[in-house]
A and B are shown apart, each in its own frame.
Chain A
């Protein structure tokens, strides 16, 4: 993730410099680069420039002014930049999320359930899918919830209409449910997992 972020940042900065060059027909000064991409410090600009220089995106003349390199051909520039920054893999991987972290916010309150019905098929939840349920989160209007309504368990969209609560299916074959006596919410569905093989 971090690796992509750095690369994307440099790419977008290169793009702004290229844009400036194509618009005005000249390379920007250091101060102008700073303004373009929002860097206040000249030193930071200098660092960026030397990086780009290494990758032949641009170069300097004998007086230190910038002259365009591959920046004149924007399509090729992107390719060059992307291939051009070797970075140590371990450092870049240090800050990644596992699939667990991505799917589970509150590990001690998370449960799984295998779906058997098709009342939420319109929301992309099919029979046989696994849903991840968080018991720790407060259910909000619009959430998919697991609830007990008048003694029956169900999975539906929770909608609050003023004072009333309605459970809405995502399948026209089923009708919305208006709790008559009792509604207990067992948890909020936060993700669906479908494994094909």
Chain B
């Protein structure tokens, strides 16, 4: 198109991307301050590393490493069971803090957010950099975790910024500097470009992100599909992806997976795990008034081999009782009796708003109405007494397993050391600091 496409002199848009550093491990260090500066790993109950603190990463521990290997490469690592309740509390607070600065906050994942800062210089009497710095400081001070921040003209560029320096980085990529950052970045490191596309691009001599951004629009249109065309615009500093501030209510799919230790080959138990996953995914679907049209079932063996199957449902539904038949069906097709399994998972896909369901002549309307009433009572009971107050008997085997887990010290302190008045299902909505004073 032209020789210098990457010099924009003004902040046409200011998009911030914030990424928490080793989020789960950081949360643990925040509530166990004596662990600051030490290698901390979460995921004890899964047998593999879910998150590793920067101290552990420095020693060569990576996400997904087996814990038995961790003990060899980093014997002094502190290995903790995942405490998702605490991580969620931190996550919600992080977004709340960001919303103090701008109403346009997109909760991209549990530990990542995009914030549109465009136009805020006036109310903060400072540059975008000052605002970003203030946001970073506030999160770090109030939550006791560190975060990395990138600010640029588009989401894709902001994300490049937050990755650039980590942990505790603050990277500004103004229009005039875009080419400096893209020149050093391999194309496959761009958000949205995978190894296959990168390999394809290499055939055209596109190695770095800058090579990609500098290609003319004709080339992009001819060889690549729409998403890559959009990324190309974003890399050139033209924002295409808006920061969408609505809290996550539209889902493409809902998936629930659970690892159990020790691994098992017991059919009833493994199906129980799937059943629990299904119930929990359905709860989430109902909360957002969605119904699934497709169901995926998968199992993972002890040696990390996955088998799975996708099923089309006869009618959209978010009621487990309606889906058990398909679940059983799928399970029987993938389950092999003599294998040891460590994880099961289900995905509810093809989600549609519950209000849009049209039942056919062959559907038993009375039965559906009954189901809907039963589940609305179940949801109400859950609201009052905690999740899984009432659950399906097929999920019962998972309860027995939990007891074994407790004996192995795989349950977070938060669920074992209850305060007076708390119970197993409902606890105080505040993170607990574990300091002996």
Interface residues of A, Cβ cutoff 8 Å to B: 106-117, 119, 130, 132-133, 135-136, 146, 148, 153-155, 186-187, 195, 197
Is there an interface contact between B421 and A135, defined as CB atoms closer than 8 Å? no
- Nearest residue (CB) in B for A128 is B420
Is there an interface contact between B141 and A136, defined as CB atoms closer than 8 Å? yes
Instruction: Write 29 A-B pairs (CB below 8 A) sorted by A numbering.
Output: A107-B93, A108-B93, A108-B143, A109-B141, A109-B143, A110-B430, A111-B430, A111-B431, A112-B430, A113-B435, A114-B419, A114-B432, A116-B437, A117-B437, A119-B437, A130-B419, A132-B430, A133-B433, A135-B141, A135-B143, A146-B435, A153-B33, A153-B436, A153-B437, A155-B437, A186-B144, A186-B433, A186-B435, A195-B421
A-side contacts of B217, CB under 8 Å: none
Select one of A109, A146, A197 contacting B433, CB under 8 A.
A146
A-side contacts of B33, CB under 8 Å: 148, 153, 186
B193 at the interface (CB under 8 A from A): no
Contacts known (A106-B142, A113-B432, A135-B141); A154 close to B437, Cβ less than 8 A: yes
Shortest Cβ distance from residue A157 to the other chain B in the assembled complex, whole angstroms: 13
Shortest Cβ distance from residue B111 to the other chain A in the assembled complex, whole angstroms: 16
Is there an interface contact between B96 and A108, defined as CB atoms closer than 8 Å? yes
Shortest Cβ distance from residue B417 to the other chain A in the assembled complex, whole angstroms: 8
B428 at the interface (CB under 8 A from A): yes
CA of A110 to CA of B90, assembled, Å: 11
Select one of B96, B421, B433 contacting A111, CB under 8 A.
B433
Select one of B96, B141, B143, B433 contacting A112, CB under 8 A.
B433
B-side contacts of A133, CB under 8 Å: 433
A-side contacts of B143, CB under 8 Å: 108-109, 135
Report B16-60 residues with CB < 8 Å from chain A CB.
Answer: 31, 33-34
Is there an interface contact between A153 and B430, defined as CB atoms closer than 8 Å? no
B97 at the interface (CB under 8 A from A): yes
Chain A: interface secondary structure? strand
A-side contacts of B431, CB under 8 Å: 111-112
Total cross-chain contacts (CB, 8 A): 66
Report B38-90 residues with CB < 8 Å from chain A CB.
Answer: none
CA of A142 to CA of B209, assembled, Å: 56
Shortest Cβ distance from residue A146 to the other chain B in the assembled complex, whole angstroms: 6
Most buried by B among A112, A132, A154: A112
A-side contacts of B437, CB under 8 Å: 113, 115-117, 119, 146, 153-155
- Nearest residue (CB) in B for A130 is B419
Is there an interface contact between B142 and A136, defined as CB atoms closer than 8 Å? yes
Shortest Cβ distance from residue B186 to the other chain A in the assembled complex, whole angstroms: 38
A-side contacts of B141, CB under 8 Å: 109, 135-136
A-side contacts of B436, CB under 8 Å: 116-117, 153
A-side contacts of B432, CB under 8 Å: 111-114
CA of A116 to CA of B34, assembled, Å: 16
Is there an interface contact between B419 and A108, defined as CB atoms closer than 8 Å? no
A-side contacts of B428, CB under 8 Å: 112
- Nearest residue (CB) in B for A155 is B437
- Nearest residue (CB) in B for A184 is B33
- Nearest residue (CB) in B for A195 is B420
CA of A154 to CA of B142, assembled, Å: 19
Shortest Cβ distance from residue B266 to the other chain A in the assembled complex, whole angstroms: 38
Select one of B34, B142, B419, B434 contacting A135, CB under 8 A.
B142
For the complex with contacts A113-B437, A116-B437, A136-B141, 16 further pairs of A-B residues with Cβ separation under 8 Å are A107-B93, A107-B96, A108-B93, A108-B97, A108-B142, A111-B433, A112-B428, A117-B437, A130-B419, A135-B142, A135-B144, A136-B142, A153-B435, A186-B33, A186-B433, A195-B420
- Nearest residue (CB) in A for B95 is A108
B-side contacts of A197, CB under 8 Å: 420
- Nearest residue (CB) in B for A113 is B433
The 4 A-B residue pairs whose C-beta atoms are closest, nearest first, are A109-B142, A155-B437, A108-B93, A113-B433
CA of A143 to CA of B203, assembled, Å: 66
CA of A161 to CA of B15, assembled, Å: 46
CA of A146 to CA of B432, assembled, Å: 13
Shortest Cβ distance from residue A121 to the other chain B in the assembled complex, whole angstroms: 12
CA of A192 to CA of B97, assembled, Å: 25
CA of A154 to CA of B430, assembled, Å: 21
CA of A110 to CA of B144, assembled, Å: 11
CA of A110 to CA of B96, assembled, Å: 13
Report B392-437 residues with CB < 8 Å from chain A CB.
Answer: 417, 419-421, 428, 430-437
